[in-house]
Structure 1
């Protein structure tokens, strides 16, 4: 167990941007004392700062400090999750890499400090390790790490892994993608079966690949390739390698593959009926396994009748219909139903009961409206009949951005080059209120063309200055020519800071002040854009869909006028990503035909 050192902790906080006074107040708040048991005054911290020359430390030392603090925190945890082990491995490698850089920069440093192969290049011949290959010991160790880190509900998935068809309804962020990536890798190593990962977009499918690459590193195997070919000592060398294939739902070649398949977030893909025929075709042979898992979406989704069993009962006589109970009470522990599909429901409360301690459920209930919390975390489907935007219309706007948007690269220094982008910002109602949202979109390249959502961000707990700084930092990578901001409440301060000349070079920062008429115009414009298919976003951006569908038509308090609202814990008007997007869309005239104006102000 590492020992807490106030001096080192103060330095770490200072390097992360805290002021000396803030550090002293933080220490006082948490009862941090000196060696004699007394409080640590501001003067002492200031003396540490001057004596140890914190301001003169090189950037690499500050980075090392952050990595070391995080690594020690993870080491101190009594029960480590598989995710903790993956992160510890990554942090250790980062620290090792930085240590090499420091040796290289020091007097007498040489290329061998950066690359050990330089020191060994004249050594005797070495046997080259097999690519993507696991020894028996590595396979056993990987499986041990996997099984030791499972929560109870994940153990149920493991026990049901040989079911022909599994269909799992789950809470958000309980480690399903992580688990099934690991399960698939273990199966590929042990059986040699192909593993196919089907997601709404290629970018979303690559989340499986990222996890699998990290798992390989846990036992010293560097996994490469897409598709990824896996071999092991557990199978005869003459057997073909197992293929791990990562597909978006628009893949034209999906039907040519065969293997176990994992259909991620299947309740959120467009055209599920067609896609499921292709997916089922990939697992026609009885040796293959089919796994569907997702958070719930709308009762209008094409996959809903598959979940309830209605799809199989449609052509059966009433007396012959299968009786399938999809209630939480029936499926909490997992159940093989009469249609030979193993179903399981895992809410956030089930996950907590199963040992998952990653959530503060009370805080989440405060952050989300009751219906939103029920959908995202309690596995309840949404009825979008009263929504201003229909679920199926929204998911039809999803695309595979990694494949289709060849002019955009999120990892580049300038993701969209010097082309113009527009941005919309919906601030927090108060400094401790709801989420804030920033959306960046590429405006239509031709008249009547689509808006493409390139990035979206949600913020919470920041004051107006911190929000403004975040926006400037994100937009510095783009040529942003328009930014629409809701300038009420905290937003007024954000607007004033960003509207200053030069705050965002070349950008027209527009003040938007909500009223019933303005809100109605925004909704009307957005509905038109959605119905005409003039908005596009990566199909993995499920939060965009949820935000729009959560907006409902309702009466004002007086009962005399119609307005649009979305519930939030405590007050009205959540769906921040949707409102931020509409701030962008309103920069184009309602008909979408006139040339967009460079500036506008709605009061």
Structure 2
């Protein structure tokens, strides 16, 4: 496959330069000719006439740097790592330019060392201040973002000085991205502290990553946690604005004050207690409070805050207010009767105001109606019919980055050589559901905790591709058990993974029946009720997946079963079923599992 989309579209000089670049990277004349669709003798003639073999090492390095720089510069969406690499490559180009000046006639040591060259020069430039923005940089940053905001973000910007904002929003419309920018600009302009609360430390650090990236756009490198920011827009000597990035451990949040941003507040455990601490941070009227989240369930402790019901319970009848929290009332945002500015932004609202980063038809294809309504339509879930309760599940979340010191997801062996179990719920192409793979650390002692280390969802893969994906993920662990639903497409996945010579041990067939499903749910309910399951607070899809499992009556009307949207209207539960495939490997009484693998028929 060619590395070029169509070599024949290149201008002759561009093809000649491309050939030279490949030659300096070690390609043969024949390989270059095949890659660029040229005659081998033509390529060889270019090399002889342009003296490719006589080029200096510096010239070859310059060509390599130029090629990589062009790739990164043309990349439309750059990551933080891309900016770091761009900076490193720029320094390399500067270094090579100094070497060239030194080797040229009349070159001297000052060409290699700026300090030597400039030590007798005129007035020195003052050293750039750390974490500091000039007035020009602040204006450049603001102009950049104001020019690319979507309509609903412009509404948030217009209302940034509201004392309290509560925003119910669709998933993946850039809320965290926007509020990171808003907070940074406020810190630069006003010098006020900014505090970011999220379900986990890792999720809070997403704010930090965005802010660091924003600053790099105008040549400022930010560091520190807490991050201290100064600017020319504030009086000299005034205290720096502090940016704190916190998880939901309220003890780490006490004693700070500033504007606070509470991300996904409808998904945190212990909202009442945490909100007391968060509100105390913004006691002074100069501080602002911003809550934003996708909806979870009507049972969440934050729901009465959203509806105003909690306020009314503390008021005399004459002082109570009725707050209309319908989409029609809050679509454009408004200050409600309790003084809180509320807004609902569905994915349809976002698209109407210019948001063009999603394909609506694709979202509908990937999510059944009620799941789409919850994730993208800002509709709360009623979990009264669910086999699992939201508040029980959300209480199981933890800050894995802080608490799981024996797990490093970025390592080649994330959990070392300690054993893990895996569960797989295959994709059934006929019913249109997703597939899910989970990696679970089993309890290290009787009655201990199952930890969901990783979860992955797949769509659009045949059984062989699904098997290859499982092998790739599981190969990073010492996996001693893999439970697979072997019905439908899963039968093919199971056969490929269970055949002799498979690198995965303990591959176990699970064939669904009413009894098997009931047993798995009963086991999972027991594990959840006893608090024996743990996952990162940021993995909201784990909670959603379990909630979507509902108790229902079979078509015959004679038995009860558990159903969860296999292409229907109840929402996908593939992650939950995959987790239950691992939990069932432990006996119902929680005692030590048998040494041999099992087959559930």
Shorter-chain-normalised TM-score: which range?
0.7 to 0.9
CA distance 1:529–1:101, change in 2 (3 Å)? farther
Distance 1:100 1:300 in 2: 55
Cα drift, residue 498 of structure 1: 1.9
State the partner residue of 2:445: 446
| RMSD across aligned positions (CA) | 3.1
* Cα drift, residue 358 of structure 1: 1.2
Alignment match, 2:166: 167
Name 1:576's counterpart in structure 2: 574
The answer to which of 465-474 and 401-410 deviates more is 465-474
Quote the Cα distance in structure 2 between the aligned partners of 1:543 and 1:492. Answer: 26
Task: Measure, in 1, the Cα distance between the counterparts of 2:171 and 2:596.
Answer: 40
How high is the TM-score relative to the length of structure 1? Answer: 0.83
CA contact (8 A) 1:367 1:569 kept: no
- Alpha-carbon spacing, 1:593–1:5, altered in 2? closer, same or farther (3 Å): closer
Q: Deviation string for 1:95-122 (max 9, x for gaps)?
A: 67579899999xx99xxxxxxx986575
Query: How far off is 1:577 after superposition?
Result: 0.6
- What corresponds to 1:338 in structure 2? 337
Separation in structure 2 between the aligned mates of residue 570 and residue 333 of structure 1, nearest angstrom = 33
The Cα offsets for residues 193-223 of structure 1, whole Å up to 9 and x where unpaired, read as 0000001111111111111111111111111
Between stretches 347-356 and 121-130, larger displacement belongs to 121-130
3-state SS in 1 of match to 2:433: coil
Gaps of 5+ in 1: 11-45, 54-60, 75-83, 110-116
Superposition TM-score, scaled by structure 2 size: 0.83
Contact between 2:8 and 2:36, CA under 8 Å: does it hold in 1? Answer: no
1:483-498 equivalences under 5 Å are 483-498=482-497
When residues 90 and 536 of structure 1 are mapped into structure 2, their CA distance, relative to the original with a 3 A threshold, is closer
Using the alignment, how far apart are the partners of 1:63 and 1:378 within structure 2?
A: 47
1:317, distance to aligned residue in structure 2 (A): 3.4
Partner of 1:223: 222
Q: What's the counterpart of residue 299 of structure 1? A: 298
Alignment of 1:30-69 (within 5 A): 48=35
The Cα offsets for residues 14-57 of structure 1, whole Å up to 9 and x where unpaired, read as xxxxxxxxxxxxxxxxxxxxxxxxxxxxxxxx96589799xxxx
Per-residue CA deviation, residues 116-142 of structure 1 (Å, 9 max, x unaligned), is: x98657554675422111111111111
1:35 aligned partner: none
Give CA deviations for 1:262-305 in whole Å, capped at 9, x if unaligned.
Answer: 00000000111111000000000000000000000000000000
Which residue number in structure 2 is paired with residue 285 of structure 1?
A: 284
Alignment CA distance shift 1:364-1:219 (3 Å) = same
The corresponding residue for 1:325 is 324
Mapped partners of 2:562, 2:578: distance in 1: 15
Distance 1:244 1:596, change over 3 A: farther
Q: Is the 8 A contact 1:495 1:511 kept in 2?
A: yes
Per the TM alignment, residue 413 of structure 1 is displaced from its structure 2 partner at its CA by 2.2
CA contact (8 A) 1:193 1:242 kept: yes
Q: For residues 149 and 445 of structure 1, do their structure 2 counterparts lie closer, same or farther at Cα, with a shift above 3 Å needed? A: same
**Which has the higher mean CA deviation after the structures are superposed, 161-170 or 463-472?**
463-472
Per-residue deviation at 1:170?
A: 0.3
Residue ranges of structure 2 left out of the alignment (5+ in a row): 11-32, 41-62, 101-110, 120-124
CA contact (8 A) 1:431 1:490 kept: no
What is the match of residue 588 of structure 1? 586
Q: Distance in 1 between matches of 2:427 and 2:81?
A: 34
Q: How many correspondences in the alignment?
A: 538
Superposed displacement of residue 366, structure 1: 2.1
Q: Which residue of 1 aligns with 2:21?
A: none
For the Cα contact (< 8 Å) 1:565–1:573, is it kept in 2? no
